[in-house]
Structure formats: C-alpha cells, structure tokens
C-alpha cells in the first residue's frame, strides 16, 4: 500500500457500524491531532468528545438531523479557544490581546488544522469521518449544548466511527485548475468551463438521482449544477441569515470586542 493511500482514498462516511471506539484508539487519534502546527504554539483550540447518547441526541437536532450524527459512536467538535490561554495570561498578570478578529482567526485556523490531522489519523486506523457544516452554521445551539464559555467558538466537527459503507471516491476539480505558479492567473470563461466540464455533468447526474433534490430543482426551474448550488442548496437568504447568526454569536462569545 502506498504510504499516502489513506489520504488519497478519503471518502466522507455517512453510515457507521455500532462498534464503539476504544479509548486508546481515540487517544491515538487525538494525539495525532494535536501534533498539528499551531500559531505561536499557543494551541488556541479545544476538542470536545461527545460519546453520551443523550448529548449526541441533542447535537443531532442542533446539527439538523443528519442521521450519521446519531449513528456514529463519537462526535468531535473542534473549537477556536482562547479561554484557557486568557486565564493563563490573567494568572500571570499578562495583558490579553486575543479578544478580536485576529484572535478568532488564529484560533479557528489552529482548530481546523487539528481537526484534519485527527481525521487523517482516524482514516489511517480504518475509521471514517464526516464533517458537519452545522457545527459552525448553528454554532450558538452547539455551544449551548456543549456549555462553551466566553472566547470558545465551535468551528468544525465530524462524526467518527467504523464505516458501514464503502462509497465511491468523489471527484475533485483538476489540479491544474486549482494551482497557480508564482502569481495568480485569473480564469477566462473558457478556462472555467474547461475546469468544471466533468463536474457539470457528473455532479448534475448525481444530484438528479436524488428524488428530493430533483423535485426541488424542477420546482425552482433549475437547469444546471451551478444554478442548483445557489438556487437550491446555498441560497442568498440561507447565507445572509447564517452569516448574521455566526457574527452575532462571535460577538456574544467575546471575540470581535476590538471591532465593536
């Protein structure tokens, strides 16, 4: 087996066996997670391990009832966290400069790097993961359930467990459409059409095979994948509403103080 196969063979897993995850296995995964690079090595993140059925049931509703969040034995939430560091600063009579946008970005980047390290470690051990966007989109509900204090913000989360499915690899846009050498080469319409050609066809076929989405697309008069993305899946009101919620909650959590 090529050493990188566990990365290049990644698939999000949405069906899980009920098998529990041994404490040692989980610790190995989390230890691999925290080996990620971290800004100033401040490790401005926290990882919440949710195993209890009662708690995961509450998360299931907050995460908009995606079945795998109940089926997988573990849900991991990766939070941007300056709470611990700020307490350490206070203990040592050091000023606190992290309750602002830069503080949030630094902590959020740290949290995401840890999450992806942990995801890869899990996959290397034969487990599967599926990131769940509602962790951020519905951050306030998630934070209430997990009892997150000030300057702790849920950023990403994923289900973790032993796969009960073996889905095909999802496509990626071609590498040369994503990489720029030395400086950014802006895209001509022809180049964009070329880069998206395969996805336009395969993605459309894939979504049209899902009866619910096909019906929504028909009702909305949607004719192609791009239209499906912004007319059905990620609409303007959806974005505006969630952006406002996230920004409000960031303020409430004590980030963005300097920004007013």
Ligand X SMILES: Cc1cc2nc3c(=O)[nH]c(=O)nc-3n(C[C@H](O)[C@H](O)[C@H](O)COP(=O)(O)O)c2cc1C
Q: Which of 131, 162, 196, 229 binds ligand X (CB under 6 A)?
A: 131
* Residue 129 binds to ligand X (criterion: CB under 6 A): no
Q: Scanning the structure block, which residue is given the tokens 């034995």?
A: 73
Cβ atoms of 128 and 16 closer than 8 Å: yes
Backbone phi and psi for residue 80, each to the nearest 5 degrees, phi listed first: -70, 125
Nearest to 173 by CA among 201, 199, 203: 199
**Sheet order of strands, 152-161 included:** 45-50, 74-81, 152-161, 128-131
* Residue 113 binds to ligand X (criterion: CB under 6 A): no
* Residue 10 binds to ligand X (criterion: CB under 6 A): yes
What would you report as the CA-atom Rg of the chain, rounded to the nearest whole angstrom? 20
Q: Which of 79, 109, 152, 156 binds ligand X (CB under 6 A)?
A: 156
Containing 240, the helix (H) or strand (E) segment is: helix 236-252
Going residue by residue from 41 to 80, which x/- string records binding to ligand X, judged by CB under 6 A?
A: -------------------------x--------------
Going residue by residue from 158 to 197, which x/- string records binding to ligand X, judged by CB under 6 A?
A: ------------x---------------------------
Question: With contacts defined by CB under 6 A, how many residues of the chain interact with ligand X?
Answer: 12
* Residue 107 binds to ligand X (criterion: CB under 6 A): no
Per CB under 6 A, residues contacting ligand X are 10-12, 14, 66, 130-134, 156, 170
């Amino acid at each position: 087996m090529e050493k990188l196969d566990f990365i290049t063979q990644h698939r999000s897993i949405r069906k899980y066996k009920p098998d529990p995850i041994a404490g040692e296995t989980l610790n190995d995964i989390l230890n691999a997670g925290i080996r990620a690079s971290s800004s100033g090595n401040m490790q401005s993140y926290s990882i919440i391990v949710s195993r209890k059925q009662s708690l995961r049931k509450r998360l299931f509703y907050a995460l908009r009832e995606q079945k795998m969040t109940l089926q997988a034995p573990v849900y991991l939430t990766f939070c941007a966290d300056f709470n611990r560091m700020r307490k350490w600063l206070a203990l040592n009579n050091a000023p606190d400069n992290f309750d602002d946008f830069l503080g949030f970005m630094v902590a959020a980047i740290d949290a995401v790097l840890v999450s992806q390290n942990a995801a890869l470690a899990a996959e290397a051990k034969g487990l599967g993961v599926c990131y769940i966007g509602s962790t951020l989109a519905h951050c306030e509900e998630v934070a209430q359930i997990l009892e997150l204090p000030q300057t702790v913000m849920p950023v990403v989360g994923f289900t973790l467990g032993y796969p009960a499915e073996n889905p095909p690899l999802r496509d990626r846009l071609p590498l040369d459409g994503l990489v720029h050498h030395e400086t950014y080469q802006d895209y001509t319409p022809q180049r964009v059409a070329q880069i998206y050609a395969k996805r336009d066809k395969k993605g459309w076929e894939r979504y049209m095979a899902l009866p619910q989405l096909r019906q929504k697309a028909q009702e909305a008069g949607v004719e192609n994948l791009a239209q499906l993305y912004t007319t059905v899946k990620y609409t303007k009101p959806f974005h505006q509403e969630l952006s406002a919620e996230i920004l409000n909650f960031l303020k409430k959590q004590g980030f963005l103080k300097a920004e007013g």
